[in-house]
């Protein structure tokens, strides 16, 4: 990390005095170059790695300010100290604009010069250390990315990494696999943004967390998974706090598969084993799966009493009791260490067969009850974690329990929807809200409402709201803006437009006509 200085002054005696009079080695400068004019200085700067420029300002063949401007135009990483006989404000201002480090007036004692240059050397070395650290960090990140994600590598590549100190086959490290699970209704965030968040939150957390291990790299495996490499010991006791921190930031469920320590030379094989665990292991409530606690399970062929539960569900009063039994069964499997992804897949298949039979006995098509996209979201996630399976069970039984309480003849469903609309004009009356109220799918209630009434749900809602608005305008003194809010419109302009389209006049004009005609 040698430091080189270039002294530029047209006075050869000044240059010679500085070159011989300063204790260069004492202040950390190993190489001293000299020039007597700007042209010589430019030639040296083009050929040698100069770190500090110590220059006079006024010289016959070009000024030191022009020299620094030339340096800045080429983005040379050079610090500059001006040494001048003139205390002109314009010189000092230009020097500041060109980011000069210091501006000294002649004569300057050797001790004063040494103090200024020593501080500059310390600053340069500090910045170099930061840059070298960042460069090494990035090199290690690129190494881990190649080492973990590629199936084969050139032996010479590994040897070069070893010689550069990036790879040490005997050094022990720890590999973790992090996975994110977006919620059923969450929109997919840009994967690049997800990676930015995961990498930055992870680096910042483990940089400040004293009880955690030292993070080596964060490597994206795919859009929803990352490898985290640590020194031996892994995340330490901070793993739960880290997972919760990342969950809060992403607003998504996070699961971490925690590997064992191993030499760097074995890390590629450990990666394969961790991926296998991810395919089989089902995270529980804490979102953690530890390799040290995971063994290939000899899972018993346990079958739930589906026929018994199906018979119990025929009685509407026991539907929720069956839900409790199903949840207790899957929780008991978990506590007995009998839950794997394949076990959950089989459980889900058998459960849905029972539900299909149950709805068939209720003379209901499954498509009438569940919205395709929402159902698919719960269904796909149900085998990922234990909480996801429990959420899927509750989703299914919420629908079943709601349907048991209702008379689902088509005309009665439509009548309930109409009454609900008329009684809740001020509230949200979206398809989703209405479908939830009658425990049927959005597509089904839309088709049913249209076939029964001859009008769409949005048109019926708008008509009811406009009729109610007319009633308020005829029989109350409420402001029009308040009436808009009372019938469910937060946007006054949109309310006025809708009212005009419906009646042929604005709310104000309608009220004026009613008052003119005696309030009738």
Burial of 326 (0-12, 13-18, 19+ CB in 10 A): buried
Claim: this prediction has a pTM higher than 0.85: no
**What pLDDT, on the 0 to 100 scale, is given for residue 392?**
93
| Residue 81 contacts residue 53 (beta carbons within 8 Å) | yes
Between the alpha carbon of residue 373 and those of residues 18, 121, 442, the distances in Å are 79, 64, 11
**What pLDDT, on the 0 to 100 scale, is given for residue 62?**
85
d(CA 88, CA 99): 17
| Residue 426 contacts residue 469 (beta carbons within 8 Å) | no
Q: 451 - beta bridge partners?
A: none
**What pLDDT, on the 0 to 100 scale, is given for residue 409?**
56
**What pLDDT, on the 0 to 100 scale, is given for residue 1?**
64
| Contacts of residue 109, Cβ cutoff 8 Å, sequence gap at least 6 | none
Starting from the edge strand earliest in sequence, which strands make up the sheet with 52-55, in order?
A: 31-35, 4-8, 52-55, 79-84, 102-105
Residue 123: which H helix or E strand, with range?
Answer: helix 110-149
Name the one residue in this structure whose structure tokens are 């949005």.
Answer: 458
**What pLDDT, on the 0 to 100 scale, is given for residue 140?**
85
SS3 content of the chain, % helix, strand, coil (to 5): 60, 10, 30
Residue 52: which H helix or E strand, with range?
Answer: strand 52-55
**What pLDDT, on the 0 to 100 scale, is given for residue 520?**
52
3-state SS assignment for residue 306 = helix
If we measure between CA atoms, which residue out of 307, 388, 303, 309 comes closest to residue 338? 303
Of how many residues is the chain composed?
Answer: 520
If we measure between CA atoms, which residue out of 447, 445, 425, 449 comes closest to residue 437? 445
pLDDT tens profile 358-368: 887 776 666 66
Stretches where the chain sits below pLDDT 50 are: none
d(CA 359, CA 351): 12
């Amino acid at each position: 990390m040698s430091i080189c200085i270039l002294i530029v002054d047209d006075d050869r005696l000044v240059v010679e005095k500085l070159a011989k009079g300063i204790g260069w080695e004492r202040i950390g400068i190993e190489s001293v170059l000299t020039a007597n004019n700007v042209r010589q200085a430019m030639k040296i700067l083009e050929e040698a790695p100069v770190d500090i420029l110590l220059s006079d300002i006024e010289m016959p063949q070009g000024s030191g300010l022009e020299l620094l401007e030339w340096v800045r135009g080429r983005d040379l990483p050079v610090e500059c100290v001006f040494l001048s006989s003139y205390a002109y404000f314009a010189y000092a201002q230009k020097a500041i604009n060109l980011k000069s480090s210091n501006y000294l007036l002649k004569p300057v004692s050797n001790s004063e010069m040494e103090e200024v240059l020593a501080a500059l050397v310390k600053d340069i070395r500090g910045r170099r250390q930061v840059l070298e650290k960042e460069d090494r960090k990035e090199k290690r990140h690129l190494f881990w990315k190649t080492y973990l994600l590629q199936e084969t590598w050139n032996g010479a590549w590994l040897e070069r990494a070893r010689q550069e100190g990036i790879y040490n086959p005997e050094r022990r490290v720890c590999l973790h696999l992090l996975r994110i699970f977006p919620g059923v209704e969450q929109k997919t965030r840009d994967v690049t943004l997800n990676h930015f968040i995961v990498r930055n939150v992870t680096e910042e957390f483990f940089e400040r967390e004293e009880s955690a291990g030292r993070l080596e790299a964060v490597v994206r495996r795919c859009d929803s998974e990352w490898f985290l490499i640590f020194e031996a010991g892994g995340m330490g006791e901070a793993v739960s706090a880290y997972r919760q921190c990342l969950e809060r930031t992403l607003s998504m469920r996070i699961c971490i598969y925690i590997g064992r320590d191993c030499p760097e030379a074995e890390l590629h094989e450990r990666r394969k084993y961790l991926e296998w665990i991810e395919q089989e292991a089902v995270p529980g409530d804490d979102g953690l799966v530890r390799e040290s606690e995971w063994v290939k399970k000899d899972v018993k062929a346990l079958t739930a009493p589906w026929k018994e539960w199906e018979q119990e569900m025929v009685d509407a009063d026991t539907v929720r009791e069956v839900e409790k039994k199903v949840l207790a069964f899957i929780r008991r499997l978990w506590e007995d260490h009998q839950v794997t992804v394949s076990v959950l897949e089989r459980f889900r298949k058998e459960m849905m067969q029972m539900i299909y039979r149950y709805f068939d006995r209720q003379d209901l098509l499954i498509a009438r009850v569940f919205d395709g996209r929402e159902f698919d979201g719960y269904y796909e996630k149900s085998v990922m974690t234990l909480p996801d399976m429990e959420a899927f069970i509750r989703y299914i039984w919420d629908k079943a329990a709601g349907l048991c309480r209702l008379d689902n003849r088509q005309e009665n469903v439509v009548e309930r929807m109409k009454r609900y609309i008329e009684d809740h004009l001020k509230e949200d009356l979206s398809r989703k809200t209405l479908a939830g109220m009658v425990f049927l799918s959005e597509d089904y209630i839309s088709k049913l409402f249209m076939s029964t009434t001859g009008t769409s749900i949005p048109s019926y809602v708008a008509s009811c709201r406009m009729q109610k608005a007319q009633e308020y305008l005829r029989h109350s003194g409420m402001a029009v803006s308040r009436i808009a809010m009372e019938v469910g419109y937060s946007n006054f302009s949109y309310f006025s437009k809708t009212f005009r389209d419906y009646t042929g006049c604005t709310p104000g004009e309608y009220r004026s006509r009613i008052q003119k005609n005696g309030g009738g």
